[in-house]
Amino acid sequence: MRTIVAGNDDISIRKMEETEEDFQLFLKWMTDPETMKYWEGMTEQFNYDRVVEQYHEHVEEQVQQCIIEYKNEAIGFCQFCVLDAEYFEVPQEQYDAMRKLVFKSYLL
């Protein structure tokens, strides 16, 4: 069963799954010249093993990898993660102060 992160009638974002289907789909995108020039550059080479390896690395790093679907057809990829003090490599107090400043400026 696929886990939907967000969506409406036609478009949805679902978690990328640890399946051959999703790995092959991601590999197809990452070997497409049009995708490569925007994502990793034309010098990067992807193969199935690299896709699987990166998937597991991102899972360990708590990066949520997702497939974007339009009318149940896969059309893209996105990823997100929680940015916390550990990620920024700063003390928690400094992170909290920075976060308050950022959120305060958005609320004004």
Q: What is the mean pLDDT of residues 26-46?
A: 84
**What is the Cα–Cα distance from 73 to 58, expressed in whole angstroms?**
24
Q: Is residue 105 part of a domain?
A: no
- Domain of residue 38 covers 4-83
Helix (H) or strand (E) holding 86: helix 85-88
Q: Is residue 106 part of a domain?
A: no
Q: Are 68 and 26 in contact (CB under 8 A)?
A: no
Q: Are 13 and 78 in contact (CB under 8 A)?
A: yes
Q: Which of 9-13, 31-35, 63-67, 68-72 has the lowest mean pLDDT?
A: 31-35
Tokens of 11: 């478009």
Q: What is the mean pLDDT of residues 20-48?
A: 87
pTM, whole model, 2 decimals?
0.74
Q: Is residue 57 part of a domain?
A: yes
Given phi > 0 = left and psi -120 to 50 = alpha, else beta, which region is 94? alpha
Total count of domains within the chain:
1
pLDDT number for residue 107:
43
Does the pLDDT value for residue 46 go beyond 60?
yes
* CATH number of domain containing 53: 3.40.630.30
